[in-house]
Amino acid sequence: MTTSDSNKTKRGTLTIAGSGIASVGHITLGTLSYIKESDKIFYLVCDPVTEAFIHDNSTADCFDLSVFYDKTKGRYDSYIQMCEVMLKAVRTGHDVLGVFYGHPGVFVSPSHRAIAVARQEGYSAKMLPGISAEDYMFADLEFDPALSGCKTCEATEILLRDKPLDPTLQNIIWQVGSVGVVDMEFSKSKFHLLVDRLEKDFGPDHKIVHYIGAVLPQSATMMDTFTIADLRKEDVAKQFGTISTFYIPPRDERPINPAMAEAFGSPGAPLKLKSLVKWTGPKLNVSTAYGPHERDVIAQIDTHVAPEGRKKQHTSAAMKKFMTDLALKPKLLEQYKLDPVAVVESVEGLSNEEKIRLKSASDGPADVLTFVPT
């Protein structure tokens, strides 16, 4: 398994992947393919079902990185140790997979450190995307970050560096239950300082949503709404833990810039642009789903004709299977990148045209390989 890194002189490789939040169900096909093919797996997941799934779907040696956590140890120290055990396996020539819950690049310190060090030492390293708590939140709360914009920040970082919270944006605040905590003693959280800040920026009556995505299949997602003033109540504050996230909807709407409206060419242009994100779902709906314009557009469906030149899939079963295998079999993809001609010649059922296209190992769009005009 390799990456696009130019330096490939050393045998070991490092791939960092995410298991998502919801147990097993958030593991992508790409991550699963690396679980099946890696030599050594190091994981930090948030539930025993995902842990068991990793063991059951791998022939590799699997190691639980959570052993490095300790209440008397700084989290940064734990992250250094997690990183180093992965790198040690890479240095001995193994194809190493690190699996972290959520997205492996979102609020995951050891993943970034491990990749950076591995590359500096000449090893191939890369990160696979995963489903983060924020992605999960977009689905559960049904809001679109494109509507009014969205800002994401960690609670302690907001306070420590006095970072602005914009009342005209949707604000997402992570780790609200561990404000100012650098170890595993989360009871030391300075949550009241965050409440002070929220009250200053939004006022005591503005509503926020406390969000925790469900992990196990039988669990329920937490989506509780409070006013900022409610957050000062002891029975409310004790509900917030290390995986709690706040969603703060906009309080104000930023006015249209007249000069920019003129630059767009007409006074109505910004309104047309805004209509692209008018409908945001049932929970945060700002407009009717079936107004006059929507009904008119729907009425045109029965007479709609596909545009000329539209492309449709037209390829052999062998081509479809080979492209799928490249996506889901990391070692096959490595072989293909090293010697596309030899790999393509070993595949039965490809047409001559398909072989020519595949042998070029093109970086172009997928339709160059698998689609032709109808």
Point out the residues that are catalytic: 75, 79, 101
Residue 281 contacts residue 143 (beta carbons within 8 Å): yes
Beta bridge partners of 161: none
AA identity, residue 312: K
Task: Name the nearest CA neighbour of 83 among 30, 133, 16, 38.
Answer: 16
Beta-sheet pairing, 170-174 with 245-248: antiparallel
List Cβ<8 Å contacts ≥24 apart for 199-206: 199/228, 199/229, 201/165, 201/167, 202/165, 202/167, 202/228, 202/248, 202/251, 203/228, 203/251, 204/228, 204/229, 205/229, 206/248, 206/251
| Alpha carbon separation from 22 to 18, 130, 256, 262, 283 (Å, rounded) | 11, 11, 40, 47, 22
Alpha-helical (H) ranges within 220-302 are 234-237, 258-263, 269-275, 292-299
Q: What are phi and psi of 363, to 5 degrees?
A: -90, 10
Gap between the Cα atoms of 324 and 327, Å rounded: 5
Helix (H) or strand (E) holding 36: helix 29-37
Helix (H) or strand (E) holding 13: strand 13-18
Beta bridge partners of 62: 41
Residue 124 contacts residue 8 (beta carbons within 8 Å): yes
Give the tokens for residue 362. 């093109």
AA identity, residue 83: C
Which position has the token pair 């450190």?
A: 113
Gap between the Cα atoms of 57 and 41, Å rounded: 11
DSSP 20: B
Beta bridge partners of 16: 98, 127
Residue 80 contacts residue 65 (beta carbons within 8 Å): no
